């Protein structure tokens, strides 16, 4: 049986445990002695191969000199939830290339997305998403298309939860005008964008903007409620998704997004453009 990959939460906690131990100047042997275990157990904690108990975590954090109560509780909560399986497992669909992306999406409290050519996944209608999947050159089987559309629709439930993240999306005008699925599908998709403007900060970057900060293409920037977690930038490509987490990388994309927001139409002007484009169909 193939070993299940640790969740994003467990891997993030493992990385933090390594960092905190090293910053405290403690060795793995000293950490093991502190909680009366073998050194290999510390290694398994730190490479996310083994979940850590809450009591062990609190003990190690104290040993590492972590005194900020709120920070400790954030990490304890992370450990408590690190064994949760993503909801994609519940619908019986293996999505290895999207597992991390979905986990980031589900745990972020601020999502910024720039999509110059297609409607952002969180804003897509089922028919629009189905048309995109059917256009794949890999010829996805019909039943698989249905599964992928179902996953995309379930992802959107985060927009209406009590603790919904702040979501800011900049759509390129080209995304509004490309007739994905045909005129009727696009009319329904544009109507959905109008409705979603109540829960999403939606702006349109017009073609008249010319050269702009986003000429290199689409990206999604995730921020998280736990201060210890760095932002994550996701850039999708044909064979997978590139994740970037260094401050230099995330700062560059934050600057890019802010520049794009300045170049884009205001939310009110954006809704007006969406209405005009829909009327032209």
Q: What CATH number is given to the structural domain containing 248?
A: 3.30.870
178 and 239 assigned to the same domain = yes
Residue 36's domain is classified under what CATH number? 1.10.260.40
Regions of the chain with pLDDT less than 50: 1-3, 88-94
The answer to whether residue 103 sits within a structural domain is yes
Among the candidates 81, 106, 132, a domain finishes at: 81
**164 and 274 share one domain:** yes
Same-domain pairing of 264 and 126: yes
Within 8 A by CB and 6+ apart from 57, the residues are 75, 76, 79
**How far, in Å, CA of 168 to CA of 166, rounded?**
7
What's the total number of domains in the chain?
Answer: 2
Contact call for residues 73 and 132 (beta carbons, < 8 A): no
Q: Tell me: do 77 and 97 sit in the same domain.
A: no
Residue 235 and residue 241 in contact, taking contact as beta carbons nearer than 8 Å? yes
- Domain end marker among 81, 103, 126: 81
Write down which residue in 26, 61, 81 finishes a domain: 81
Answer yes or no: do 19 and 35 share one domain: yes
Q: What is the pLDDT of residue 227?
A: 66
Pair 38, 116 in one domain: no
In a domain, 206, yes or no: yes
Asked if residue 265 and residue 134 are part of one domain, the reply reads yes
Residues 96 and 21 placed together within one structural domain of the fold: no
Q: Is the residue at 23 inside a domain? A: yes
Take residue 222 and report the two structure tokens written for it.
């995730």
In a domain, residue 2? The reply is no
Percentage, residues of the chain above pLDDT 70: 91
CA dihedral 127, 128, 130, 133 (to 10 degrees): 180
Residue 3 lies in a domain: no
CA-atom Rg of the chain in angstroms = 22
pLDDT of residue 100: 76
Residues 12 and 52 in one domain: yes
Predicted pLDDT at 94: 46
For residues 245 and 202, membership in a common domain is answered with: yes
pLDDT of residue 36: 94
Same domain, 130 and 266: yes
Residue 257 lies in a domain: yes
The answer to whether residue 24 is domain-embedded is yes
Domain identity same for 151 and 253: yes
* pLDDT score at 80: 85
**262 in a domain, yes or no?**
yes
Domain, as residue range, for 223: 87-280
What is the predicted pLDDT for the residue at 13? 86
């Amino acid at each position: 049986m193939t070993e299940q990959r640790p969740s994003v939460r467990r891997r993030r906690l493992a990385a933090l445990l390594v960092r905190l131990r090293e910053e405290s100047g403690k060795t793995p042997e000293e950490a093991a002695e502190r909680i009366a275990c073998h050194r290999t157990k510390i290694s398994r904690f730190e490479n996310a191969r083994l979940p850590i108990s809450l009591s062990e975590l609190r003990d190690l954090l104290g040993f590492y000199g972590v005194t900020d109560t709120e920070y400790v509780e954030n990490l304890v909560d992370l450990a408590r939830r690190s064994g949760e399986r993503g909801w994609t497992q519940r619908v019986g669909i293996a999505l290895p290339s999207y597992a991390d992306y979905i986990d980031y999406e589900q745990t972020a409290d601020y999502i910024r997305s720039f999509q110059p050519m297609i409607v952002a996944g969180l804003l897509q209608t089922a028919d629009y998403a189905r048309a995109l999947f059917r256009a794949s050159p890999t010829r996805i089987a019909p039943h698989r298309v249905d599964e992928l559309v179902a996953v995309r629709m379930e992802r959107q439930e985060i927009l209406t939860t009590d603790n919904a993240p702040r979501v800011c999306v900049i759509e390129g005008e080209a995304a509004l005008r490309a007739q994905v699925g045909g005129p009727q599908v696009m009319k329904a998709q544009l109507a959905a964008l109008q409705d979603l403007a109540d829960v999403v900060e939606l702006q349109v970057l017009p073609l008249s903007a010319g050269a702009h900060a986003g000429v290199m293409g689409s990206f999604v920037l995730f921020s998280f409620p736990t201060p210890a977690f760095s932002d994550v930038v996701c850039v999708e490509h044909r064979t997978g998704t590139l994740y970037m987490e260094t401050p230099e990388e995330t700062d560059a994309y934050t600057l890019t997004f802010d520049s794009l927001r300045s170049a884009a139409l205001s939310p009110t002007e954006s809704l007006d453009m969406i209405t005009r484009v829909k009327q032209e169909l």
